[in-house]
Amino acid sequence: MGDHTACGSAICHGINLYAFRYSLLQLAVEYDMPGAAQRAKNIVNSAIQKCRNVDILSCTLEGKPAIHPDIRGAALYGAVKSSNELSYTHIENIWETDRTERKLTRAQRLEVFRALTASPDHRKAKDFLRELTHDVSVSPDDYSNYIEWSDPNVVDNLVDILMGGNNQTLYTPNARVVLKNIWKYPSRTRLNKLRKTMNDIRGKCDDNRINGDRCRWLENTINNLANRVAVMESFKNGIVCHSSFDLHPYPMLLCFV
């Protein structure tokens, strides 16, 4: 296989030969082990250089040997986490191509979106989120499956994306799925961001410029998250809390020293 046929070079053969090593790298990137993101960035950079004259989408994500399936998700994700502009542009190109050609599988689309949402630059992730939150043809379940909810960096980025721009974005069915998943992974920073948003729109709620039921739903979501943060922090402080998160209209929290 020559250099002009889907990256038939040493980088491709090496990645195929040592797939197990890269499955370990995927775990290393996810757990922020020292050097893992940099290693992933190097792999992506090498593959991009080798693929310069080859169709990027095919070379990277369609099973051709530029990046082995066991590494491509970790490599893209790790490269973006290391703030590598070259890899970010590469991901943007893949995403833009797929918007018209629709070649990616669901799993591949998740890999690309996961990398986009992990980046501090939200340009394409914000566009994607805006499209999905207003696309009635995409169900909330489909939407939530695009997102790596267990990654706190991804979830925090989604909070930032949702908090920006038109607050109406918060009240679409798909945005509700985002918020419901957000409070499954509690943090004080996340709670404060949501509270700030609630304070920003409270005046609109009070004068009925925003549907009252939606405002109450958001406030209840924030209360739920506050309870979860209290439980999380209480365990750190040696206090045991029991909480009922779904009581309406307000959750209840009982703590015992």
In 3D, which of 89, 46, 90 has the Cα closest to residue 66?
A: 46
C-beta atoms surrounding 181 within 10 Å = 15
- Name the token pair of 143: 């939407």
For 242, other C-beta atoms within 10 Å of its C-beta total 10
d(CA 232, CA 241): 9
Distance, CA of 73 to CA of 154 (rounded, Å): 14
* Maximum Cα–Cα distance across the chain: 69
Q: Which two tokens stand for residue 95?
A: 């995403």
Report d(CA 219, CA 191) in Å as an integer: 11
**Residue 175: predicted pLDDT:** 56
If phi > 0 it is left, if psi is from -120 to 50 it is alpha, else beta; for residue 246 that is alpha
Q: From first to last of its 257 residues, what are the pLDDT tens digits of the chain?
A: 333 333 344 343 433 333 444 445 555 555 556 666 666 666 666 655 655 444 444 444 444 444 444 455 555 555 555 555 656 666 666 666 666 666 666 556 666 666 666 665 555 665 665 555 555 555 555 555 555 555 555 555 565 555 544 444 455 555 555 656 655 556 666 667 667 766 666 666 655 555 566 666 667 767 766 776 666 666 555 444 444 433 333 333 333 33
Q: What is the DSSP letter of 53?
A: T
Instruction: Specify the pLDDT at position 220.
Output: 72
**DSSP label at residue 35:** T
Model pLDDT, residue 192: 73
pLDDT at position 21:
46
Q: Would you list the domain boundaries of the chain?
A: 1-121, 123-257
- pLDDT for res 219: 72
